[in-house]
Structure 1
Amino acid sequence: MILFLALFAAQAAGTSPTSPAQRLDACVAQARTDPAGAEQVARTLGRAGEACRGVALAGQDDYAGAATAFTAAARNAELAKEARAADHWAQAGNAWLAAGDAAKARAALDAALAAGTLTALNRGEAYLDRARALVATGDLKAARVDLDLAVKDAADDPLAWLLSATLARRMGDLPRAKLDIAQALRRSADDASVQLEAGNIAAAAGEADRAQAAWKEAARLAPDAPAGRSAANALTQFAGDPKK
């Protein structure tokens, strides 16, 4: 769920950037393929280039640096009374999550959502990210509230349904978990993480055959990824069962 690039409007092909906004968008476009070069361009833009610098740093896996840049962009936008301040706060929160700092992610996402200017998918993704931060800090009840909002605004995002299903299972709500994992499977059945959780939910419900089938699919889809390895490990419980 990295949203750094999606929050910027695409530049029209062949248009020479002249205004500050156009130069920023051109810098962000460059960051897609040349993050190091875009970082240098961003520095020439001064304060106006902080958002591009954030995208460029994220493209180089410097998520803490990206979060700091997005935070600066958000504060600059607030001072200028620009509507995109909330977008930058959301980007900062997303970057802090990638950097592994849930507390800072929550603070940034609180600011993004408090602004009241995020709409539709962007708002849903911000709720989703804040739910991830809340889960990481142990506030499952608040995360449940945010995920309920996320699946409304970001209904097409399988990750929203996957995390909602996982949280429902952790909170002992298996009927909700089954409904939500079905939505995730409908949208992304070829995702090993979705199949892994489908198996986990089936196992929690005592449905061994369904659990085994889902875990086998997860292991097949991504044998070398964490989800695939977790599924393969879960399947070892059936190793001594001649029926399986």
Structure 2
Amino acid sequence: MTLTAALLSFALQAQPFASDPRLAECLEQARTDPATAIATGGSWLGETSGSSTAAPQTCLGVAYTRLLRWEAATDAFEAAREATPETDLAGRARVGAMAGNAALAVPDPLRALPLLRTARDDARVAGLNELAGETAVDLARALVALDQSEDAAAALADARSDAPQFALGWLLSATLARRMNDLVAAQGFIETAVALAPEDLDAGLEAGVIAALDGRIDAARASFESVVALGPASPQAKTANAYLEQLTE
């Protein structure tokens, strides 16, 4: 799932706004005509105050993501999170996660870090374990960007615990373990990632890299060939072909 798609997915689930027909209409407009949605959301925002601003700010955030205006999206989602009542931890977790994702896309990992950490904690308290796990993956991405590998590994451990079916958490765990020269752990993580998402080209590519570094050339070749077969025109296939050439030298 792309970052924008993830943000839209979160937005569609956002509480306490899911039953708000005006927000539903604005979100639909944000998907199809984001420029108009920004005007709609801005006008709506001018009519509201306090906690009522959370819905139009959410719509504005989604519209900005469609236009790749990541800083503006971060601002809008963060404002939506602050406007959401403190008693609604689920709603705060969702829009907080969107704010953190948007900050990562800027990219501004330093700003994303507290947003994602708070969103993960809110999701846990609210009992949204899957959201907590997915947000922990994004937290790990921010930590890696800030060269905090040990903390990133801890965040990914949380992600695997909270959202064990989320393949990306296992894939990024494998990649980080490989970069930290722990090929045994990397192999275990990538096996789970591939089992959860057997057609994920990035997982196949990572499996091949780990195998090659571990001296298992036949396994590496098989992984790279599977990536080419699954997505022959993909960027991952181009990389896989380059690796295959290296294996034959």
Cα distance change, pair 82–101 in 1 and its aligned pair in 2 (3 A): same
| 1:140 CA displacement | 0.9
Does the aligned pair in 1 maintain the 2:11–2:94 contact within 8 Å? Answer: no
Does the aligned pair in 2 maintain the 1:50–1:69 contact within 8 Å? Answer: yes
Residues 87-142 of structure 1, C-alpha deviation per residue, up to 9 Å, x if partnerless?
21111111112222211111211222343436121111110100111111111111
User: Among 170, 179, 191, which residue is 2:179 paired with?
Assistant: 170
What residue number does 2:204 align with? 195
Distance 2:199 2:13 in 1: 29
Regions of 4+ moved over 6 Å: none
Question: Comparing both structures, which one devotes a greater share of its residues to helix?
Answer: 2
TM-score between the two structures when normalised by the length of structure 1? 0.85
User: Among 82, 96, 105, which residue is 1:98 paired with?
Assistant: 105
Residues 141-167 of structure 1, C-alpha deviation per residue, up to 9 Å, x if partnerless?
111111111112222222111101111
User: Among 228, 231, 237, which residue is 2:240 paired with?
Assistant: 231
Unaligned 5+ residue runs, structure 1?
12-18
Q: Indicate yes or no: 2:124 matched with 1:125.
A: no
Structure 2 letter corresponding to 1:49: P
Distance 2:110 2:231 in 1: 31
Does the aligned pair in 2 maintain the 1:10–1:29 contact within 8 Å? Answer: no
Give the paired residue count.
232
What residue number does 2:48 align with? none
Structure 1 letter corresponding to 2:9: A
What residue number does 1:37 align with? 36
Does the aligned pair in 2 maintain the 1:177–1:201 contact within 8 Å? Answer: yes
Distance 1:133 1:207 in 2: 32
Q: Indicate yes or no: 2:20 matched with 1:21.
A: yes
Distance 2:149 2:235 in 1: 24
Residues 19-55 of structure 1, C-alpha deviation per residue, up to 9 Å, x if partnerless?
9933123322332333333222211220341111111
Residues 54-97 of structure 1, C-alpha deviation per residue, up to 9 Å, x if partnerless?
1111122222221121111112225x654312221111111112
User: Among 133, 150, 159, which residue is 1:141 paired with?
Assistant: 150
Unaligned 5+ residue runs, structure 2?
46-52
Q: Indicate yes or no: 2:58 matched with 1:57.
A: no
Structure 1 letter corresponding to 2:146: T
Structure 2 letter corresponding to 1:190: E
Distance 1:69 1:118 in 2: 25
Identity %: 36
| 1:226 CA displacement | 3.5
User: Among 115, 120, 129, which residue is 1:113 paired with?
Assistant: 120
Distance 1:128 1:10 in 2: 19
